[in-house]
Amino acid sequence: MRKELILGGGCFWCIEAVFERLNGVEDVISGYANGNLVNPTYRDICSGTTGHVEVVKIIYDDKIISTKELLEIFFELHDPTTLNRQGADIGTQYRSTILYQNIEDEELAYSVIDKVQENFDDEIVTIIEELDRFYIAEDYHQDYYQNNSNQGYCMAVISPKIAKLEDKFRDYIED
């Protein structure tokens, strides 16, 4: 069955690049969620004043990869113990978040956090929030790593995340 999951864990370029490589993932769309401005731009989001969060919408076949598996991978890809920060990306727009669209996914998110907490010394601060609105980011943000893999940020930040995925989750990677 085709499903979607919306996650935020820092810069959407990083998360998009990793989830695009997973078996069962049909598409990953970078965007902005919630917030108090209709049709925000990247410049708006970067101000940190709109309440939006950089996210990815993962469209997947849950017969191939489950929501639970996607969430477990998500918690390996970023630091869910830092509030409003991932590396050099600082602000509420970079918060660690799971945006649920139904009660089942909300309950699953809490359950997965309870399970993976044992892997972290510090408390997980990932926010579980209801999706209000999703806006697709500008075209140049889509497939960013795929189109810019030799760019400095991609090589320094995204490539190590992909290497970690390939090492730890090789059974989930598309051939």
Q: Looking at the whole model, is its pTM more than 0.85?
A: yes
Are 11 and 57 a contacting pair, CB within 8 Å?
A: no
Q: Are 125 and 80 in contact (CB under 8 A)?
A: yes
pLDDT tens digits along 59-97: 999 999 999 999 999 999 999 999 999 988 899 999 999
Domain ranges of the chain: 2-172
pLDDT band, residue 175 (cuts 50/70/90):
low
CB 3 within 8 A of CB 28: no
CB 19 within 8 A of CB 25: yes
pLDDT for residue 146 is more than 90: yes
Three-state helix/strand/coil letters over 117-148: HHHCCCCCCCEEEECCCEEECCHHHCCHHHHH
Strands (E), 10-111: 25-34, 52-61, 85-86, 89-90, 96-100
Write down the CATH superfamily of domain 2-172. Peptide methionine sulphoxide reductase MsrA (3.30.1060.10)
Q: Which two tokens stand for residue 65?
A: 């990869």
* Positions marked catalytic: 11
User: pLDDT category, 26, cuts 50, 70, 90?
Assistant: very high
